[in-house]
Amino acid sequence: MGLGQEPVTGAVHGSLRTSDVARASGWSVQQVRDLEALGVLPPAHRSANGYRAFGDEHVLALRAYRGLAAAVGPVVARRVLRDARSSALDEATALVSALHVTLARERDEALAARRALLAIRAEGAATGSGDATPRSVQDDGAVLTITELAAALGVRASTLRFWEREGLVAPERVASRSGAVSARRYPPPAVREARVVAALRSAGYRVPDVRRTVEALRRLDVADPLAALDARLDGIAARTLALLRAGDDVARLLTREPAPRG
pLDDT at 165: 94
Strand order in the sheet with 182-186: 144-145, 182-186, 172-175
Which string of DSSP letters, residue by residue, matches the chain?
--GGGS--TT--TT-B-HHHHHHHHT--HHHHHHHHHTTSSPPPEE-TTS-EEB-HHHHHHHHHHHHHHHHH-HHHHHHHHHHHHTS-HHHHHHHHHHHHHHHHHHHHHHHHHHHHHHHHHHHHHHHTSSSSS-HHHHHH---EEHHHHHHHHTS-HHHHHHHHHTTS---EEEE-TTSS-EEEEE-HHHHHHHHHHHHHHHTT--HHHHHHHHHHHHHH--S-HHHHHHHHHHHHHHHHHHHHHHHHHHHHHHHTPPPPP-
pLDDT of residue 45: 83
Q: Per-residue pLDDT tens for 89-123?
A: 999 999 999 999 999 988 988 888 888 888 777 76
Which residues of the chain have a pLDDT value below 70?
A: 1-14, 123-142, 176-181, 221-223, 257-262
* pLDDT score recorded for residue 130: 46
pLDDT of 186: 93
User: Looking at this protein, which amino acid is placed at residue 216?
Assistant: A
Main-chain phi, psi angles of 28, to 5 degrees: -80, 165
User: Which residues contact residue 162 at a Cβ distance below 8 angstroms, ignoring those fewer than 6 apart?
Assistant: none
What's the rounded Cα separation, in Å, for the pair 15 and 144?
A: 71
Strand partners, 46: 52
Identify the pLDDT of residue 183: 84
Per-residue model confidence (pLDDT) at position 10:
37
pLDDT of residue 220: 75
Contact in structure between 58 and 23 (CB atoms under 8 Å): no
How many angstroms separate the first and last alpha carbons of the chain?
32
pLDDT at 8: 36
Instruction: Quote the pTM value.
Output: 0.67
The reported pLDDT for the residue numbered 142 is 65
- Model pLDDT, residue 238: 95
- Choose among 11, 41, 62, 12: nearest CA to 257: 11
pLDDT at 157: 94
Q: How far is CA 156 from CA 31, 152, 209, in A?
A: 58, 10, 21
